[in-house]
Structure formats: C-alpha cells, structure tokens
C-alpha cells in the first residue's frame, strides 16, 4: 500500500488545472499478478473551487475509488490499440501514477460548483449575492391557459358506477 498527500504543489505541476488548492490523501494498493498489475486508488479529501454563483472559494469534498489495470507485454501493437489498459514492457519496473491521480480528481470534481447552503456559510460572498438579487430580472407570472377540449373532458362522468 502506498499513500500520497496531495496539495497545491501537486496541482501546480499541471498546466491549466481547474483545481488550484486542495488537501487530499491517496491510498494506492498494488495487486501484482504474473502478467499484470491491478491498481486500486482511494482518494479522500477536499478541493477548493469557486462558487458559480457568488465566485467565492469553498471546499468541495471528494471521495473516489478507481481501478486501473497495467499489463506487461512486449507487443507494441497492443500498446497502440488499447485505451482501457496501461501497457508496460516486461523490462520496465516503474510507473508514474501522478497523471492518473490528477485525472481521477478532475473527473470527481462537480460540473456545477455551488455552495450547499447558499449565503449561509462563512465562505459565501453575501455582498455578491445581494448584488445579484438586485440585478436579477423580475419573475413574470404566466397563467396556464387550459385547452378547452380538456376542460370538456373533465366534465364527463362515468355513468356505469
């Protein structure tokens, strides 16, 4: 079992990273078999994202489990034709998992970043939320006009009762 601490320095290594700050722990378990390795990743912690509403930074918890298979082979054609596996030559003895960890974290980050309790947390920007409320367009109430054919059907009663 290998354990890694992920922090701001890790995210700086990846250009144009969506995440700049975070505190995560990665537990990586190797299951070595004769022709392959099975890598089991468990990632727990939080990353800091900007809220899509108030633009303030807030922590987003992440709890991920992923698996990757690394196959040992000398076949170069296999290396080019397989997307689901990582192929290593039989004489290679190390693998860099940093890109895999980064990819799993990025896939675990929510698409829409919003505080759970908008305006009620210490990191929410209350001033920005007030400004947004003032600048928002007024809600228009629309009355639903029922189709007269449906209204006529509502008046029919079942006479067999």
pLDDT in tens, 12-49: 998 888 888 999 999 999 898 888 889 999 999 999 88
Q: Taking the complete model, does pTM exceed 0.95, yes or no?
A: no
Tokens of 79: 């290396």
Q: Which residue has the tokens 């309790």?
A: 117
| pLDDT value, residue 111 | 84
**Domain residue ranges of the chain, discontinuous segments joined by +:** 2-123
Taken in order 97, 98, 102, 108, the sign of the CA dihedral is: positive
């Amino acid at each position: 079992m290998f354990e890694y601490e992920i922090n701001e320095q890790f995210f700086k290594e990846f250009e144009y990273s969506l995440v700049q700050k975070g505190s995560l722990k990665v537990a990586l378990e190797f299951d070595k078999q004769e022709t392959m390795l099975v890598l089991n990743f468990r990632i727990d912690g939080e990353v800091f994202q900007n809220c899509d509403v108030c633009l303030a930074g807030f922590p987003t918890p992440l709890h991920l489990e992923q698996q990757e298979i690394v196959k040992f082979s000398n076949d170069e054609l296999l290396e080019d034709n397989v997307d689901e596996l990582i192929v290593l030559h039989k004489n290679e003895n190390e693998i860099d998992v940093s890109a895999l960890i980064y990819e799993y974290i990025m896939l675990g980050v929510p698409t829409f970043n919003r505080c759970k309790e908008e305006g009620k947390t210490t990191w929410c920007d209350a001033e920005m939320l007030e400004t947004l409320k003032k600048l928002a367009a007024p809600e228009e109430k629309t009355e639903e006009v029922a189709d007269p054919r449906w209204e006529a059907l509502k008046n029919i009663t079942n006479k067999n009762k």
